[in-house]
Amino acid sequence: MGANEEPIFLRSNAIIEPLVDGFYAWLYTVAPVQAAMNLAFLQVPLLESFLRNPQVHVAAVNNPALRGGYFVGIAEERKDEVAALLESIKRDRADMLAFAAAVAEGEELLRQNATGFDLTPLYPKLPAALNGLVELAYDTNNQPSMHYLEPLVYHSPVYDEGRQSVQLSLEDGVERPFILSTPRLSDPRVLDLSLPFRHPGLEELFRARTKPTTAARLREALELDDAGARKLDSLLDTRPSLAEDRHIDAGGRVRYFGHACLVLQTAEAAIVTDPFISADNRHGDRFTLDDLPDFIDLVLITHGHQDHIVLETMLQLRGRVGSVVVPRSSRGNLADPNIALYLKHLGLPVTEVDDFDEVPFPGGKVTATPFLGEHSDLDIRGKSTYWVELAGKSVFVGADSSGIDPVLYRYIRNHLGTADMAFLGMECDGAPLTWLYQALLTKPVTKKMSDSRKLSGSNAAQAGDILVELGAREAYIYAMGEESWQGHVMATTYTEDTYQLKQIDEFLGWCRDRGIPAEHLFNKREWRW
């Protein structure tokens, strides 16, 4: 048997970075309306700023106090490559850039002319790029808005799969550049695949984590030339590195994989929440992709932020997931892209749910439950917490939902009963409105206004209220980006005096006083029953 025909597997520590025009891909840079806005009003200006003064960007990236800021982390000597990237975007993405300009113009048209009277005369005045893709409407307070017909936009020139590519490399333990600001340039150590995310060859590649294939078959599936095939060889191994205990034979198990990722298992089924999973299995201090069960019945997505739908993990689950459960969005709201449409266009099977919708799985069921706050007071409906019933236990997956109105959780308890375990996020002093949503704001807001509207979850008092209303018997707080392998996405920096950590300590003390088992999670944890 030739070398190209030997059974091989994708190495455990292979990193997959999905890209659009060189930038790390996430919901708001792939879903077409939001992607156009981010490209035109964030990414292009960011590259232009770097080219005007690269030294400022390099200095900022190396300043720990500015971690997570919008600075391009590329060496000045590669300035010409950045200039070439910017030129290609302006040339090849003209339709997207024109659409973004049209959105801003259309929004201003509404602000100036939609005064409570008939909107019909405004349609002929809309920019041509919007024709057939939007509907104008008032709410019951006579506030006008423009709704985007998202399924149509995916079939327009605004959605261009030619933007999409994937970079493959091996984990080296060095923190990658922050995903919201630094594009990925080519590198001799990296395999660049100019393939759309839904390409069947990628599914073939990712399946090789658990099922053997051959180098020849992968070369054909990924459409590689000789140079690409040589780079691919470095990502392959003759043996899988799967954990022997990735399945269980009886009872129930919950494993914490870091951030908001849980793997809930019985002998019959496996459920994964917000997959954000390390590929680096050298340390033993974390669960990695090696520890995932071979088949996952349901993946539960709580909301669309870049740390909860992590494409570098999600794409690797293609072919081994029954369905991805996502919250129903509001249909056409600029700030609320349709998560189901997005994932379907990436080749993933999707189930869309609303509050109290039920999704069965072998031996149990998931119920979608409401999610409050954490989105800077924008009208974003695409968010859900979940109630998972398996092996005789009820687990509340709270993500970053806030306890700003604790009565909500009373309704959940009245409908579903008492929670055995509650998992909560307590990022209670989150980033301001403009940090994540600046590109979508066609009308400027003041810094004071932006700073008042944060991406915040529960503080100690609100987390306590949630626990009381749910009657939860145990409480677990996510690490919220403290794990070392998440810096490129989270870019958080905590110290002993950080407000969020003090609030977590206060909440844990509150739980101790009431005899409620509670922990602040970090890296890995396992529960069996």
pLDDT in tens, 366-404: 999 999 999 999 999 999 999 999 999 999 999 999 999
Average pLDDT, integer, range 61-66: 94
b/e code 402-431 from CB counts within 10 Å (16+ = b): bbeebebbeebbeebeebbbbbbbbbbebb
Give residue 391's pLDDT.
Answer: 98
Pairing, β 296-300 against β 321-327:
parallel
Residues 102-137 have pLDDT tens digits of 999 999 999 999 999 999 999 999 999 999 999 999
pLDDT confidence band for 4 (50 / 70 / 90): confident
Mean pLDDT in the chain?
A: 96
Sign, CA dihedral 258-260-266-269, equals negative
Chain-centre distance for alpha carbon 362 = 27
Phi then psi dihedrals of residue 192, to 5 deg: -95, 125
Q: What percent of the chain has pLDDT over 90?
A: 96
Per-residue pLDDT tens for 294-342? 999 999 999 999 999 999 999 999 999 999 999 999 999 999 999 999 9
**Residue 373 CB burial class (10 angstroms; 0-12, 13-18, ≥19):** buried
pTM: 0.97
Q: Exposed, middle or buried: residue 258 (CB in 10 Å: 0-12, 13-18, 19+)?
A: buried
Q: Is the pLDDT higher at 493 or at 370? A: 370
d(CA 100, CA 439): 10
Please check the confidence at residue 180 and state whether its pLDDT lies above 50: yes
Cα 230 to Cα 4, 18, 172, 208, 236, distances in angstroms: 11, 21, 19, 17, 10
H-assigned helices in 371-438: 407-416, 433-437
What is the widest separation between alpha-carbon atoms in the chain? 76
Residue with tokens 């990924």: 222
Distance in Å from the first CA to the final CA of the chain:
47
Cβ–Cβ < 8 Å for 103, 334: yes
- Answer for the pair 116, 138: CB distance below 8 angstroms, yes or no: yes
So what's the pLDDT on residue 496?
Answer: 85
Q: Do the Cβ atoms of 197 and 315 come closer than 8 Å?
A: yes
Q: pLDDT tens digit string along 242-284?
A: 999 999 999 999 999 999 999 999 999 999 999 999 999 888 9
**What is the predicted pLDDT for the residue at 3?**
60
Looking at the predicted structure, is the pLDDT value of residue 1 above 90?
Answer: no
Q: How far is CA 291 from CA 243, 480, 489, in A?
A: 5, 21, 22
DSSP-assigned states of every residue in 481-511: T-SGGGHHHH-----TT-HHHHHHHHHHHHH
Length, in residues, of the chain: 529
- Per cent of the chain over pLDDT 70 is 99
Asked if residue 2 has pLDDT above 80, the reply is no
Look-up: residue for tokens 């048209």? 109
Cα separation, 149 vs 134, whole angstroms: 6
Of 375, 273, 364, residue with least CA distance to 324: 273
- Tens-place pLDDT, residues 304-313: 999 999 999 9
| pLDDT over 50 (residue 437) | yes
Distance (Å, whole) CA 25 – CA 395: 31
Q: Is the pLDDT score of 351 beyond 90?
A: yes
